[in-house]
Amino acid sequence: MGKAHAVAMAAVASVFDTALRPSLEMICTTTPEGAADKARQFGFVRSTTDWRVLVTDPKVDAVVIASPQHTHKDIALAAFAAGKHVFCEKPLGLGPAESREMLEAARRSGLVHMTGFNYIRTPASQLARQIIANGEIGTVTWFRGEHTEDFCADPAEPASWRTRGRPNGNMGDLSPHIINAALALVGPIASLCADIETVHRARPSPSGPETVTNDDQAQIMCRFAGGAMGHLFISRVATGRKMGYAYEIFGTTGAIRFDQEDQNALWLYKAEGHAGRRGFTKILTGPEHPDYQAFCLGPGHGTGYQDQIIIEARDFLAAIADGKPRWPSFEDGHMVNRLIEAAWASQARRGWVDVASIEGE
């Protein structure tokens, strides 16, 4: 993610002709040699192994946090205290208690704060948000979302940092993206009921079988504040799935389908015209759709993963330039953490949980 954000900041001014044109002043990684090499590779002026040096440097105006989530809170708090704008990758800290503290510090500072949810920024998903907001599929009645990948599907895959500790598990890693999508597309979630499990309970390691200490997959039934029903499925053991960030939304007069493995297409159904001529229409994204034209003038040619990060960079710079917040802020990141915590509470209680009851527990 550090590379993705460095590339985005180097490209964003050219792609979007932004009012602010970022200068890559300093990069921080774990070793002096590695930091210097990454500075050379990505075009930073200087490097350091101490994030405190970076966030307090007078030449640094804004900080992108792309480090492990256990470091997010301390870096963000120090950056706000030093008067720096902050973009922080998801998840926002280790849970709702930390993200609440980060959000409160952000509000006190009056500085720009954003959370990195990149997948929702594809032109197709931005178009889906517009279609729903415009009432083109009527009132939303049901949402099904998934984030499914297979990087842990093989039980012979060795133990690693991914299989150790709750924050690195499926709920900490993949679920924030599709929860964020549900909130962006349908609105607040009022209550939920979750079932979370570890499929492969041990993994090979040099010293023998190692117990897996986090989750592999989860399913969550939910009820949106607006009345719609919903279901989320999140898995890192979904054999064959590489980027199964997908959703299906039913409304009273239409429906939408999307799959990130075909990220430049949106399927739209409208219940209008002759019944025998109705069907889903595949819309290929193009210059008429949000943020596409900055990358390519030809419809159907498509955008990619790095482009999502460049769009994030554009939004971050725009927020700094005009002093107005951009979605998703730390508030949105905190809401996602509350929903994840609600899912764990539901798993423990084996029943439905009102999200309003979850704050910093």
Nearest of 147, 143, 337 to residue 221 by alpha carbon: 143
If you average pLDDT over every residue of the chain, what do you get? 97
What's the pLDDT tens digit per position in 314-341? Answer: 999 999 999 988 999 999 999 999 999 9
Q: Give the C-alpha separation, 3 to 296, whole Å.
A: 22
Mean pLDDT check: name the lowest of 179-183, 282-286, 315-319, 356-360: 356-360
Alpha-helical segments (H) within the chain: 2-16, 32-42, 51-56, 72-81, 96-109, 123-133, 170-173, 175-185, 305-322, 330-349
Q: Give the C-alpha separation, 361 to 357, whole Å.
A: 9
Would you call the peptide bond into 91 cis, given omega within 30 degrees of 0 as the criterion? Answer: yes
- The SS3 assignment for 22 reads coil
pLDDT band at 50 (very low <50, low <70, confident <90, very high): very high
Domain layout of the chain by residue ranges = 2-119, 123-303
Is the separation of the CB atoms in 8 and 310 below 8 Å?
yes
- The SS3 assignment for 217 reads strand
The DSSP 8-state label assigned to residue 297 in this structure reads S
pLDDT band at 359 (very low <50, low <70, confident <90, very high): confident
For domain 123-303, is the CATH number 3.30.360.10? yes
Q: Work out the average pLDDT over 49-54.
A: 97
Q: Work out the average pLDDT over 108-128.
A: 97
Q: Which DSSP helix (H) or strand (E) runs through 190?
A: strand 189-197
- The SS3 assignment for 57 reads coil
**Burial of 141 (C-beta count, 10 Å sphere; 0-12/13-18/19+):** middle
Q: Is the pLDDT of residue 360 over 60?
A: no
Q: Give the pLDDT score at 34.
A: 96
Q: Work out the average pLDDT over 57-78.
A: 97
Q: Give the C-alpha separation, 235 to 215, whole Å.
A: 9
Would you call the peptide bond into 209 cis, given omega within 30 degrees of 0 as the criterion? Answer: no
Using DSSP bridges, classify how beta strands 244-251 and 229-235 pair: parallel, antiparallel or unpaired.
unpaired
**Burial of 299 (C-beta count, 10 Å sphere; 0-12/13-18/19+):** middle
Percent of the chain with pLDDT over 90: 98
Extract the runs of DSSP E, i.e. beta strands, from 215-320.
217-224, 229-235, 244-251, 254-259, 265-270, 281-284
pLDDT band at 361 (very low <50, low <70, confident <90, very high): very low
Kindly report the number of other CB atoms within 10 A of residue 138's CB atom. Answer: 15
Q: Work out the average pLDDT over 103-118.
A: 97
The two tokens of residue 264 are 């430049």
Q: What pTM did the predictor assign?
A: 0.95
Q: Give the pLDDT score at 316.
A: 98
What's the pLDDT tens digit per position in 201-251? Answer: 999 999 999 999 999 999 999 999 999 999 999 999 999 999 999 999 999
Nearest of 330, 356, 266, 321 to residue 18 by alpha carbon: 321
What's the pLDDT tens digit per position in 73-101? Answer: 999 999 999 999 999 999 999 999 999 99
For domain 2-119, is the CATH number 3.40.50.620? no
